Amino acid sequence: MSDAILTLSDITSGYGSAAVVRDVSLDIKQGEILAVLGKNGMGKSTLLKTIMVFVSPFGGQVILRDKDVTQTPPHMMARSGVAHIPQENTLFPDLSVEDNLRLGVNSDRLFRERLPTIESLFPRILERMKQRAGTLSGGEQKMLLMCRGLISHPRLMLIDEITEGLQPAMVDRMAEVLVKARDDLGISVLLVEQHLDFALSIANRFMILKLGEIVDQGVVDSQVTSDQLSAHLAV
């Protein structure tokens, strides 16, 4: 039995007949953050959508805890403990913060039991429980998206550009939350990100995607700096 919670083997996917992701293989262990870096249009978001089967792979395998889930529908992936935080805002703006959070659980009992975890991570969200989600600031909406994923108690989170448009203080808060989710809750994270300093401050490992292929990867340590990787990401 593998110790990886997620394994991709030679995944190729795209839209129509055009391949966007090409022969990508990776694995993530329990309680690990793997940062997927790259310029816009390099296939990063498509990779996450392929794992969730919003995009069907042309070839390869997606293995979740030793089970082949390559063709598993997105709602079953969610039930299997995978939370997807997409780049696009998927909140229901006319619903309250509380109602948006409740979409992450399937019973009132679980909602009550898990609310303290959310409170410990994002206290300001609970101050706005009755507020319409669409009236939150951009940063608060990102917080709510993260909370909705975390309240489902996932084993794995697929997070796409969570820092986009955030103020520096909120970026720092997101880093704290993801580190706590990994270290205290044992959640694994596949993090698509262009904010290099943010990604390297929390990731255990990195990989760089260019034209849908992995062109570099390694362990994040004191020897790895954003300057060393920026050449891959320059526009």
Q: How confident is the model at residue 31 (pLDDT cuts 50, 70, 90)?
A: very high
Q: Which residue has better confidence, 9 or 104?
A: 9
pLDDT at 58: 94
Instruction: Check if the beta carbon of residue 208 is closer than 8 Å to that of residue 234.
Output: no
Q: What is the mean pLDDT of residues 107-134?
A: 89
Q: Residues 175-192: pLDDT tens digits?
A: 999 999 999 999 999 999
Q: How confident is the model at residue 233 (pLDDT cuts 50, 70, 90)?
A: low
The pLDDT > 70 percentage for the chain reads 94
Q: What is the mean pLDDT of residues 75-103?
A: 93
Q: Which residue has better confidence, 77 or 233?
A: 77
Segment of 33-37, 133-137, 223-227, 228-232 carrying the highest mean pLDDT? 33-37
* Opening angle at CA 116, ends 113 and 121, nearest 5: 140
Q: How confident is the model at residue 40 (pLDDT cuts 50, 70, 90)?
A: confident
The DSSP letter of residue 200 is: H
Is the pLDDT score of 235 beyond 80?
Answer: no
| Phi/psi at 128 (5° precision) | -120, 25
d(CA 14, CA 12): 7
Q: What is the mean pLDDT of residues 203-217?
A: 93
Tokens of 27: 């694995």
Q: What is the mean pLDDT of residues 61-83?
A: 94
Is the pLDDT score of 226 beyond 70?
Answer: no
Q: What is the mean pLDDT of residues 83-111?
A: 92
Tokens of 73: 């529908």
Contacts of 111 (CB under 8 A, 6+ apart): 101, 102, 105, 151
Smallest CA-to-CA distance from 86 within 128, 133, 148 is with 148
Least confident stretch, 35-49, 142-156, 216-230: 216-230
**Burial (Cβ within 10 Å: 0-12, 13-18, ≥19) of residue 40:** exposed
Q: How confident is the model at residue 225 (pLDDT cuts 50, 70, 90)?
A: low
Q: If you search the block for the tokens 């997620």, which residue do you land on? A: 6
pLDDT at 1: 56
pLDDT at 110: 92
Instruction: Check if the beta carbon of residue 103 is closer than 8 Å to that of residue 148.
Output: yes
Least confident stretch, 28-32, 118-122, 174-178, 184-188: 118-122
Contacts of 153 (CB under 8 A, 6+ apart): 81, 114
Mean pLDDT for the chain overall = 91
Instruction: Check if the beta carbon of residue 59 is closer than 8 Å to that of residue 11.
Output: yes
The DSSP letter of residue 193 is: -
